Structure 1
Amino acid sequence: MEPQYASAWALPNELVLEVAKLASANSQSDYRNWLLVSYDWYQAVRLVCLRHVPIHLFSGQAIDNFASLLQTYPDAAQFVQHLWTTSCTKTELSIVRACTNLISLACQSKLLVSISSMPTFSHTSLRELTIMTIWSPWEDVMCTPHAAQLCSQITHLRHFEGLPPDFPANELTSLKQLSFASHIYRDFLLRHISRLGDMKTLEDIVVTTSWQRGTGAAPQELAKGLQAIDKRLRVVHCERGFSERETWCERSRLGKCLWNVARPDTIVPIGSDEPKFTPYN
C-alpha cells in the first residue's frame, strides 16, 4: 500500500510532494527538515526534491560532508542541478565532476577548466554560470578540449567583477543574459561593452554597482545616457545587505534575479529591501 505522506493534512501525496519541492528550493535547511519528517518521507523526497535545492558549499566541513554523501549515495549526484562552491580544492573538483546534470553553477574558473578537460564532456545541461574568478578567468578555460561546447551552451552569465580582456564573446553563441559589476562611469562601461563584439543573441546587460551617498555625483546623474552606449544596458544598485549568493539562490528557484528586476529607464536598488525603481531620465 502506498504510504500516506500527507495524512495529517488530508491532501493527496502528489500535492504535498509539490509543496516539498517548493520548500526544498527555498534552502538546504528546509530540504533537510522535510527529510526528517519520517522514513517514508525521506525515501519519497530525498532524490525528487534534491533537484530543486540550491546547494551552497559554504565551508570545508560542508564540502567534506557533501562529498561523503555522494560517495555513500552515488546516484544522488545526478539529481544535483544547482551548485555554489567558492574555492577549488581537490574535493570540490570531484564533486563538480560527479554532478553532470548541473543547470546552474557558481564557482572559480579552475573548476570549469576541470570539467571541460574531461575525456568526454558530460555537463551538457549546464546553462547558467556565475564566475567568481577576477583575473583572466577565461584564459585557461579556452585552452581545454571542450571549451567551445561549454561556451556554446551558456545562456546566463554573471561575473563578480567587470568583463575581463579574455572574455570569449565569439564562443558564447547562446548567451542571452549577461551581468557584471562595474562603476557606472561612461568610460568604464564603454571599455566593458567594447569586449562584447557582435553578440546577436544577447538580450540584456545588467551592470551592478554601488555608491556611498553624499560622495561624488548622484547615481541618477551618473546613469544618464547609459542606454546611448548600448540599448540593452540596465543598472542595478547593490545596497547594503545585497548578497551574491542569495541572488543566485533566487535565480535558481526562478524568483527575483538581476535580469528580471532590472529596467531600461531606471536604477533599481536591491539588497535588504524589495526592489525600488528610481527614475533617472
Structure 2
Amino acid sequence: MIIAKSRAEVKRYTEGETVGFVPTMGALHEGHGTLVTASKDDGNYTVVCIFINPSQFNNPSDFENYPINLEDDIAYLDSLGCDLVFIPKVYEVYRSGDDEGRYIHHFGSLETRFEGEFRPGHFRGVAQVVHILFEIVEPAMAYFGEKDIQQLAVVRALSSKLGGKIAIVGIETKREKSGLAMSSRNLRLTSDQLQKATLIHQCLTMAQSGFKSKSVVSIKEEVRLKFEADAEWNLEYFEVIDPQTFDPITVWAGPCRAVVAAHLGEIRLIDNIAIP
C-alpha cells in the first residue's frame, strides 16, 4: 500500500487507473472498512483519504477531541487491500492562491435543516473539501456511508453540480451487535453510555415496524418520551422524511426514512433507517 502526502504523489500513482475513492477523517472502524471493500469489489484502484477537515466542524471542541489513531488506521487499510492512502496536511488541501469561491456550493433547504440546522455551515465545509479532493484524486466512483444520510444527499447534489461524472455509491450502515451504528464518536462513550446509546436504534426500528399500525405523530411522541425519560439524553430531532427531498412527512405515503440526532452526555450521535 502506498502512503501519499502530496497532490503530486496521488497524481503519479493513480495515473491511468480507474479510481474508487473513500474520503475519511480517520479513526477508522468496520464501517469505513465496508466502503473500502465495496470499492475493491467493484474492481477499482482504491484510494482512501485521511484528513480531519477543520471547515466542517461548527463546534471547536469536536475538532479538538476528534480521535487520531493514524498508525492503526494505516495498518487497517493495508489489511483490507487498500492501494493508496492519502494523508495530506491542511496546506496541501487548502492552498493559498486557490480561487476559494469556486469551492463554495449552496444546496438550499438540504443544507439548512436537520444536521444543517444544528451544525450551521457543516455541509458547506463538507462540500468544499469533497470538491477539492475530487479534483486531486479524480475518482470514477466515490463511496459514502448511509449513516450520514444527509451528507450522502449533499455529496450526490455536489456531484451533479460538477457534471455527474463521479458515481456516488451509498453503502448500508455497519452496526454493532447491539444495533448501534458504528461511529468514531463511539470511542468517547463510557461502557454505561454504550448501553444507553442502543436507544437510538430501538427508536428507529420501532418506527420501521410500526408504520402500518401507528401514525407518524404518535411514533414521534413515543420517541420523545423515551428520550426524556433519561436526563443524560438531549434529543435534537427525530423526524420521518421523504428520502428524496428531506421534507418531513406527517402521513405514511410510500418509502420514507426516519432520521435522528441526540446528545448522550457530551457526545452527539446520529442515525437513520429506511421505512419500510
TM-score (normalised: structure 1): 0.26
Higher relative contact order (CA 8 A, sep 6+): 2
Q: Computing the radius of gyration over CA atoms, which structure comes out larger, 1 or 2?
A: 1
Greater share of strand residues, 1 or 2? 2
Provide TM-score, normalisation by structure 2: 0.26
Greater per-residue helix proportion = 2
